[in-house]
Amino acid sequence: MQNIDLNKKLECFNDHWSPRIIASVNGQEVKLAKFEGAFDWHSHADADEMFLVLDGSFTMEFRDRSVTLSKGQMIVVPKGVEHRPIAEAECSVMLVETAGLVNTGDGEETDRTTSAMWI
């Protein structure tokens, strides 16, 4: 039951596409991540994913459309839906997703695959 300061947590890491866990809520993990460039197409068969932009902006690509999100805007990607986030410049994001979720989805592991660690 402590004060979790998002900006202070964001200062703890600089790498892109590697979410860090900052809190746990009813089996969900709250994570922070920094996006820059294009991530990989992927989906999560059993988990919705929420993305809230804390700083900057990014575009969530789907197979049939894309949605651009700026600071203070969020989106929920439903389970099973293929998606790919792209950020032209560095973008800080808060995620809410099922505990233990792997960032690259249900396919084969890549060098970007991580299930995140606590900060």
Q: Which residues bind its own copies (CB under 8 A)?
A: 1-7, 23-28, 30, 47-50, 52, 54, 60, 62, 65, 67-69, 72-79, 81, 96-98
Closer residue to its own copies (CB): 79 or 110: 79
What is the nearest approach in angstroms of its own copies to the Cβ of residue 27?
A: 8
What is the nearest approach in angstroms of its own copies to the Cβ of residue 111?
A: 27
Task: Please say whether the beta carbons of 83 and 61 come within 8 A.
Answer: yes
What is the nearest approach in angstroms of its own copies to the Cβ of residue 5?
A: 5
Closer residue to its own copies (CB): 17 or 52: 52
Helix (H, G, I), strand (E, B) or coil at 37: strand
Cα–Cα distance for residue pair 58/69, rounded to 1 Å: 6
Closer residue to its own copies (CB): 65 or 111: 65
Closer residue to its own copies (CB): 64 or 111: 64
Cα–Cα distance for residue pair 83/68, rounded to 1 Å: 13
Question: Cβ contacts of residue 14 below 8 Å, gap of 6+?
Answer: 34
Pull the structure tokens for residue 37. 């460039």
